[in-house]
Each structure stands twice: as structure tokens, then as C-alpha cells.
Structure 1
């Protein structure tokens, strides 16, 4: 039973050390955490919009060319990977080195 006494002593010393070091305070989110969260959401929304808009523009261009040349839906189908590649390029460029997003 002497082990319990040593454990109580350790718990007391640990609580005292945590209190003096300020480690027993609850963790709060500061203003910088909220700013970081809003920046992350802003960047994610921007990248999502860039990806979707590149695809939409490619489909619209393909659809227009299909109507012009009466080749439905082949040019539009060909432009979908082009739009996806353009969207991914924009995402990689925005997330690459030197971007201040």
C-alpha cells in the first residue's frame, strides 16, 4: 500500500507543477486561430470556384463548337478533360510556391 502513498504524492506534485507553469488553464481559441480558420475557408472556396468555373467554361465552349460544326457531343466531350486540366493547373498554381493566398 505504500505505492498508493507515492502515487498521491506524485499527483499532488504534478498538479502543483502544472498550476505554477500555467498548464491547467482551459485551452481557448484566440483571434489568430479564427483568422487562420477563415483564411483556410477562403482559400478552399476560391480553389473550388476556380475548378468548377474552368470545367463550366470548357463545357460551354465545347457545346458552342458542337452547335457550330454539328458534331454533338464530341467536341464538348473532348473539352471536358481540357477544362479539368485547366482547373487543376489553376489550383496547383495557386497553391504553389510564391502564392500569397
Structure 2
């Protein structure tokens, strides 16, 4: 009887792990937990989105000869994407923050 309970617990734990229902243990990933971690991640999110937007806009402008229009459009899109990523980071219902 005790073996059946232990076996059931092991199978339930394995199923929960496969489905991702258990929270990760401390130090096993997840997301930032300190205010400095959130601030650093927010800054990296905005900066990286801007770099990608500016890079794409600049490359497309050089290729198509439309300087500076696509650069400006992709700069604004990159900025919007960065702000949206930060919003998702701080909005607990969005699912991006796992703590």
C-alpha cells in the first residue's frame, strides 16, 4: 500500500514537471527577483528592441534607397516593441513574469 502511494506521488510529480505546473526552485531560472534584476532586464529589453528596429530600418533604407523613412518607421516600431516588452514584464497577468 505504501509503495502504491509513493509510486503515485512520483508519477504525479513527473506529470506536473512535464506540464510545467510547478514553479522553478530558487536558482533554476524563471526571471529576475530583485529590483535591480527587473531594472536591468527592462533596460535590456528596450535597448535590444531599439537596436533591432534601427538596424532593420537602416538596412532596408540602404537597400531600397528610401533614407530616412524606413529608418524612422522601424525606430518607432522598435521603441514600441521595447515598451510592450517592459509592460509584459511588469504586468502579472501577461505570463512573461514567472514568480
TM range (shorter): 0.5 to 0.7
Distance 1:56 1:94 in 2: 19
Cα deviation digits, residues 42-98 of structure 1 (max 9, x gap) = 110011011011011100000000011011111001111101110011001111114
Give unpaired runs (5+ residues) of structure 1. Answer: 1-37
Q: Which residue of 2 aligns with 1:5?
A: none
Give unpaired runs (5+ residues) of structure 2. Answer: 1-32
TM value normalised by structure 1: 0.59
Distance 2:77 2:84 in 1: 10
> What pairs with 1:1-101 in structure 2 (closer than 5 Å)?
39-98=34-93, 99-100=97-98
**Structure 1 runs of 4+ with >4 Å offset:** none
Q: Which has the higher contact order (CA 8 A, sep 6+)?
A: 2
